[in-house]
Structure 1
């Protein structure tokens, strides 16, 4: 089973920068997108009968938003954690026989950290949501989590400590999430690999010099870790300030063989 996740920083713009060609060539079973920046009806993405499409739009125009393209029809779809309280389109949950897929675009604390308190409250609520799902069946979480967890996850950790995405508080919340029974699939396979990032500033020369941050993830319930075949970052793919992250799971996960409680 092949899964992909990509913060496209505006899907309309990404479509003009090779998104469709990459999507078709990858041929993933599940393709998750964050920061679509769309309203319903603004863009038609036609993949024939190969993929079902599920969208969670933000109420604010040109902001946030998530989408999932899937070759398998889900048993159920949930938009947000509390449908009547989610206005930024940040979470999509698809239920399959063997697992839940949660596509997420975590709020940024902002450069001046004016949204840090909101962000930390979000983290607690999101963690509770994931653990509630995990009590039913395993969970695969993907998306832009807007945090570099450890110093190895960004090029220049020391001068960035305390900045949005690398505050002690945000990093601690990521540790809490992993401690609640989830595994960072890339670090599970490659605990010491350096210079692998998923986001780069648009400042000139930054991406060419690979001065980046790893803030896009695939997490899985701990009991799915033995079924992880590969986790990678498609760093060469352009079209956004983020690049796609990829996960390969054993096909048995579709039906929960050996992983469900």
Structure 2
């Protein structure tokens, strides 16, 4: 049991640390980040119940429906809902990159428990592939969702809506494409997945750079550093 739990937790913890430490100007309170991670973990159970009910009560034999509705819509909307109502107006959400940190925390909480449950059902042999694909893809959906929430957070009231819409729609569409590749290309899905994951990592890391570049605290940090160099020693 312990090896499976360790293998299930390790990739999510590593990715969360990676994105947490890429905040160049001010780290978020770890207690709040951990709270969002646990919240992401807890929403696995209602989502699984809804997916089970939908799969057995709404009998639509379609890969598109399964990928975009049963999976992507339920999972990404649930994560978006948690972020919007628990973090979006929180006092600690005071910079663009903060959205990425909290988005990744919720997404990886979800992905970590999902990963543990999958490893219990299918064994440790699948752990490496799970870390490379589902866990990392969830982290990147969280990056993109959080980036656009961060853009919305600091827009005027009249111009928030397009950014809020993108914060849900883009991760939702990317997640749907990911699942559609797996469902539709049973024999050679990896040939499609490699370029898709390459694009997803490129897009996620681009949002990380943009969020840090747009930081509301960047100029303040540079001003403090310049002042320190200019001030004569006491």
What TM-score, normalized to structure 2? 0.32
The answer to which structure has the higher strand fraction is 1
The answer to which structure has the higher helix fraction is 2
What TM-score, normalized to structure 1? 0.29
Give the greater-gyration-radius structure (CA).
2
